[in-house]
């Protein structure tokens, strides 16, 4: 078991675009297990490889209460979006900040490969649907706060700076 370091906004490495995965060998399997440990320990309901400074197209999600329904999405792509999501989102890379992002869909269809390279298709709504959209953004180098107004972004940056100073 290993807990990986989660990059914190505004780290530039959160803006890197992830590359497709072609090798499903032991190194990837180890990374998946370590990312799952990291996500559950945080605790979070999702984690993208970008957030642990691995710039490959993979994210994990588990929105179950018992943390026993791990989903692994490799080389994911959204094939359908519908409706409007009213839920607020959070981010392990932007601790303590929750807000609603305009334009998030209520229902999402995603196609991806599982940890063994097997294709699957999933339709999701609610927290899982939102989490999938949020994690896919991470793989594109986008952090949710960057969708908020300039004023909100400045406030968030100030708050994060203050929190960092307090914890030093
Ligand atoms: O990608 C991440 O930073 C993880 C993020 C995922 C996410 C949460 C909510 C909406 C969209 C995306 C988190 O998990 S933040 C932590 C969180 O929301 C949470 C933690 C424990 C229980 C329930 C929620
Ligand atoms: Zn996030």
Report whether pLDDT(166) > 90. Answer: no
- 135 catalytic residue (yes or no): yes
Nearest ligand (C-alpha, residue 90): 1
At residue 107 the predicted structure's pLDDT band, cuts being 50, 70 and 90, is very high
Cβ(135) – ligand 1 distance below 6 Å:
yes
Task: Tell whether the model's pLDDT for residue 114 goes beyond 90.
Answer: yes
Structure confidence at residue 1 (pLDDT): 81
Ligand 2 ion: Cβ-proximal residues, 5 Å cutoff: 91
Model confidence at 29: pLDDT above 90:
yes
CA dihedral (135, 137, 141, 142) in degrees, to 10, reads: -120
DSSP label of 4 = P
104 CB near ligand 1 (under 6 Å): no
Average pLDDT on 29-51 reads: 98
Express as a percent the part of the chain with pLDDT over 90. Answer: 96
What tokens appear for 139 in the block? 């793989």
Beta-bridge mates of residue 61: 46, 71
Q: Mean pLDDT over residues 38-53, rounded?
A: 98
For 161, the enclosing helix (H) or strand (E) is: helix 150-166
Predicted confidence at residue 164, as pLDDT, reads 86
The β-bridge relationship of strands 46-48 and 58-61 is antiparallel
CA of 127 to the centre of ligand 1 (A): 9
- Ligand 2 centre and the CA of 166: distance in Å? 23
Catalytic residue among 88, 123, 135, 146: 135
Average confidence (pLDDT) over 77-92: 98
């Amino acid at each position: 078991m290993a807990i990986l370091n989660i990059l914190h906004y505004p780290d530039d490495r959160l803006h890197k675009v992830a590359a497709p995965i072609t090798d499903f060998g032991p190194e990837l399997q180890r990374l998946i297990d370590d990312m799952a440990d990291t996500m559950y320990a945080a605790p979070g309901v999702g984690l993208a490889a970008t957030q642990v400074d691995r710039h490959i197209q993979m994210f994990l999600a588990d929105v179950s209460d018992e943390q026993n329904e791990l989903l692994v999405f490799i080389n994911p792509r959204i094939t359908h979006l519908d409706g409007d999501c009213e839920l607020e989102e959070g981010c392990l890379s932007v601790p303590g900040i929750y807000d609603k992002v305009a334009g998030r869909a209520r229902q999402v269809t995603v196609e991806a490969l599982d940890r063994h390279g097997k294709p699957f298709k999933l339709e999701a709504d609610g927290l899982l649907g939102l989490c999938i959209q949020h994690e896919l953004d991470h793989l594109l180098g986008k952090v949710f706060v960057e969708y908020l107004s300039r004023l909100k972004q400045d406030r968030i940056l100030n708050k994060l700076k203050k929190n960092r100073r307090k914890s030093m």
